[in-house]
Structure 1
């Protein structure tokens, strides 16, 4: 079975698909870097949703997410945005940890695993 890649660059792809399972790269704020955690979370979730759509998925198909934040004390700010975004009745398995990210302007990075529509 071939591996399909979405948004392929020399260094990474936005998503890799194998056997109907979609593995998403870490998504970070592109336009709101340096802004509040809430604003960055909104942007990252929108980017994540775009990548899911490009890979033939919806947020209802997300199986698990890993969320990395630079300040775990602000998790409530992130959760408020997350709770409005996540599909009711389809909350994925989730881990949230504090981490130092690749750029000092990033407050959050999210990666996910999802199932393609129809599986």
Structure 2
């Protein structure tokens, strides 16, 4: 089975595609000066791009994991999430507080999608 790597960087790929499955790496904001809502919106835009490159979309997300540097940012994160979310196709989701690799990151999001 062939594995396709999307948006490869020095240490990781933005996503890996195997068969009809897409595995997203943890995505962080390009602009870490944004607040949690802004960082979330930026990350979700990046996820849209990766999913499109893989041949799918947010409507086909199976699960999402959201990591917040400060759980009190959940409301701000949810504001961006709610604007972006396909209400007819909500993925399973977990949200946890975690110490992120860069202190300027407020949000990191990963997930798994299917290619129809």
* Short-chain TM bin: over 0.9
Cα shift at 1:105: 0.7
Residue of structure 1 equivalent to 2:21: 21
**Residue correspondence of structure 1 range 38-117 to structure 2 within 5 A:** 38-116=37-115
Greater share of strand = 2
Distance in 2 between the 1:92 and 1:55 partners?
Answer: 18
Contact residue 34 and residue 107 of structure 1 kept, 8 A: no
Unmatched 5+ stretches in structure 1: none
Count how many residue pairs are aligned between Structure 1 and Structure 2: 116
Aligned residue for 1:81, secondary structure, equals: helix
Distance in 2 between the 1:36 and 1:5 partners?
Answer: 30
Distance in 2 between the 1:10 and 1:107 partners?
Answer: 22
Query: TM-score by structure 1 length?
Result: 0.93
Poorly superposed stretches of 4+, deviation over 2 Å: none
Cα shift at 1:65: 0.4
Cα shift at 1:19: 1.6
Aligned residue for 2:8, secondary structure, equals: coil
Query: TM-score by structure 2 length?
Result: 0.95
Unmatched 5+ stretches in structure 2: none
